[in-house]
A and B are shown apart, each in its own frame.
Chain A
Amino acid sequence: MMNWTHHLIIAPILIPLAAAAILLFIDERSRATKAMISLCSVLLMGAAALILLRIESGPNDFDGVYLLGNWAAPFGIVLVLDELSALMLLLTALLAAAALVFSFARWHTIGAHFHSMFQVLLMGVNGAFLTGDLFNLFVFFEVMLAASYGLLLHGSGPLRVKAGMHYIAINLAAALLFLIGVSLIYGTAGTLNMADLAARIPEIEPDRRMLMEAGAGVLGIAFLIKAGMWPLCFWLPTAYSAAAAPVAGVFAILSKLGIYVILRLTMLLFSDGPAAGFGASVLLYGGLVTVIFGTVGVLASQALGRVAGYSVLVSSGTLLMVLGINDNAISSGALLYLVSSTLTIGAFFMLIELVERGQDAGAAVLAVTMEAYGDAEEGEPDQTEGVTMPGTMAILGICFAACAILLSGLPPLSGFISKFAMLSAMMGTGAIGVPPTASVWALIILVILSGVAALISMTRAGIRTFWSSIEGTVPRVLVIEVMPVLFLLGLTLLLTVQAGPAMRYMDRTIQSLSNPTVYIEAVRNAIVVGAEKGKAD
């Protein structure tokens, strides 16, 4: 029963942890070695995530509960792998691989310990996706945040330090809210294990349940800050657009981590029983305002980095609204949207740096808002040797157009497929449809409008960058920098071609999420190793 695939559950945490530790001992000057170790770690992580996803999507009933320290579930700490966490692990690994290869061109050379921080970030993210325990979630969240502070400041410069300072202050305050929420939940329910908590909620008497719900609300705010729900999102576009390109690319998964935790906790704790539907209206209306705010931001931004930052908000807002509606058919479309938009935004952040490299300060002044954000050239690394990309403008233009199509949700790429999956479920077409209510209509309108806004904004930026560029200089772009962008866009293409299997997987994921009893029973009944063998061991 305990074969090697079961131990693979912990691999996405251990691999980056070991790599980060090894990387600390290697001198900063031996960059090639560091880069290789880092890349090996991400590839191994990706392989582990792929195997786990294949197991999860397979027919057999895989035991995804991993008891750390071999203590039975409510007392010991558990890792739980299910369809959703396997999907998020693979998404993280893919995005990380692209961002890491992108950084090899020059970004990893502009500061110390880039690779260690990158690995620790991945460890935190993977841990948060895998953990089945609220306090462990806090610890992994803090690990991830501590690494992200360092990565945001990577490359230094006044702009990054300023954005980094705001980012750190906000996240420290959010961490305190997280702790208040966790301790309130512990004080009322007497457990921190998510499965045990879900099982105990019906047993809590009503007056204490209010306290528990207050705790869950405070906890939720911490994740909504991370996901960027309005009015907790003003830090996000500045921080993301100030970060170095590969860092911003990998940060695209961090806001999805907030969404993931909210999805996990609402589906597990508040899907049925006396506390059912807790916080749904907050998510719905909060998401609604976030989409509006993001859409206005996308339209108003002149700098491409900020367009991408606001696109993160649009994507988060859409997902939050869907979580608020909490309908299975819409949610599985939204999961596809989550994957597609994460890949798109990751690719877009990296592409922006390549496109804007060609523009000098004179062209940048034309962008009205540019000067408000300081001198973007600070902290840029020097050009390094490497293979220059042939036909640079053509390839960058195609990538840019693909990003525009994906962000606005036009056919034929996966942005369209995922939005179509959501919209068709909302409009009640097909066998899985639901009759649309007022809030669903609002969501339909906003999804379409935000797509239009993205299209307008991207078209305007594209014309300014590629057709009416004053200088006409071609940026010097290396092959190694374009490959990751093409890789991520290629993945969205794969998602388009394989939309059927992908959609089936998402359906399955939502099915198992909406039936939390399986999860709860799996964790509660997890067998300690050696328990059957007794003293013979």
Chain B
Amino acid sequence: MEIILSIAIGVMTSCGVWLILRPRTYQVVIGLSLLSYAVNLFIFGVGGVKTNVPPILNDSIATSSLADPVPQALVLTAIVIGFATTALFLVVLLASRGLTGTDHVDGRNDPR
């Protein structure tokens, strides 16, 4: 389980890093999204990977078999903020496309 999760985080991070270094704005947006997915999974994983355990304290459950609720709360905040900023970035991307007529990150027409 941990292995699969860490491979997933690694693959998404490397794809994300490669994409944000690309010259097209759309690739940068997708790269940032992938990176934020990877980071969200990472935050989630920090609390320990457990299946089928509640995050809420209950008298009938031993504290050792509880999922840590804090990373779950953090990841929720991170998802919301990441969502909003990506949406904002898309608007800027469209504005840049409209103003420069190209989707190059520096507004150049040159395909490189």
Contact = CB atoms under 8 A, between A and B. Distances in A.
A183 B100 CA distance: 39
A115 B13 CA distance: 37
B96 A169 contact: no
B74 A165 contact: no
B58 interface: no
Contacts of B71: 183, 186
Contact of B85 (A164, A168, A192): A168
Interface string B66-105: 0000110010011001101110110011011001100001
Contacts of A145: 85
Given A161-B99, A180-B39, A169 B84 contact: no
A375 to B, nearest CB: 12
Contacts of A153: 92, 95
Interface in A329-355: none
Contacts of B61: none
A4 B47 CA distance: 39
Interface string A171-183: 0110110011011
Contact of B77 (A139, A166, A186, A187): A139
A168 B42 CA distance: 23
Interface string A450-473: 000000000000000000000000
Interface in A315-341: none
B92 A165 contact: yes
B96 A162 contact: yes
Nearest to B25: A165
Nearest to B105: A165
Nearest to B35: A176
Interface in B3-59: 20, 25, 28, 32, 35-36, 39, 42-43, 46-47
A398 B20 CA distance: 46
Given A139-B77, A146-B85, A165-B92, A176 B39 contact: yes
A104 interface: no
B46 A184 contact: yes
A420 interface: no
Nearest to A75: B70
A37 B35 CA distance: 40
A168 B36 contact: no
Nearest to A176: B39
Contacts of B107: 158, 162
B74 A166 contact: no
Contact of B84 (A146, A182, A186): A146
A142 B107 CA distance: 27
A182 B71 CA distance: 10
A162 B100 contact: yes
Interface in A234-252: none
Given A146-B85, A165-B93, A186 B74 contact: yes
A149 interface: yes
A505 B105 CA distance: 46
Given A158-B100, A186-B74, A173 B105 contact: no
B81 A186 contact: no
A146 B88 CA distance: 8
Interface magnitude class on chain A: 20 to 34
A161 B96 CA distance: 6
Contacts of B96: 158, 161-162, 165
B57 to A, nearest CB: 12
Nearest to B43: A183
A161 B89 CA distance: 11
Contacts of A172: 32, 36, 85-86, 89
A210 to B, nearest CB: 16
A135 interface: yes
B23 to A, nearest CB: 12
Nearest to A187: B46
Contacts of A126: none
Contact of B89 (A150, A168, A180): A168
A158 B20 contact: no
A509 interface: no
Contacts of B89: 165, 168-169, 172
B27 to A, nearest CB: 11
A142 B92 CA distance: 17
A112 B39 CA distance: 33
Contacts of B88: 146, 149-150, 168
Contacts of A187: 46-47
A156 interface: yes
B77 A173 contact: no
A474 to B, nearest CB: 33
A105 B45 CA distance: 52
Nearest to B86: A172
B39 A179 contact: yes
Contacts of A150: 88
A172 B83 CA distance: 11
Interface in A477-512: none
Contacts of B86: 172
The 8 closest A-B pairs by CB, nearest first: A187-B46, A183-B43, A183-B46, A158-B99, A176-B39, A161-B96, A142-B81, A179-B39
18 contacts: A142-B81, A156-B99, A157-B99, A158-B107, A161-B96, A162-B100, A164-B92, A165-B89, A165-B96, A169-B28, A169-B89, A172-B32, A172-B86, A175-B81, A175-B82, A176-B36, A183-B39, A184-B46
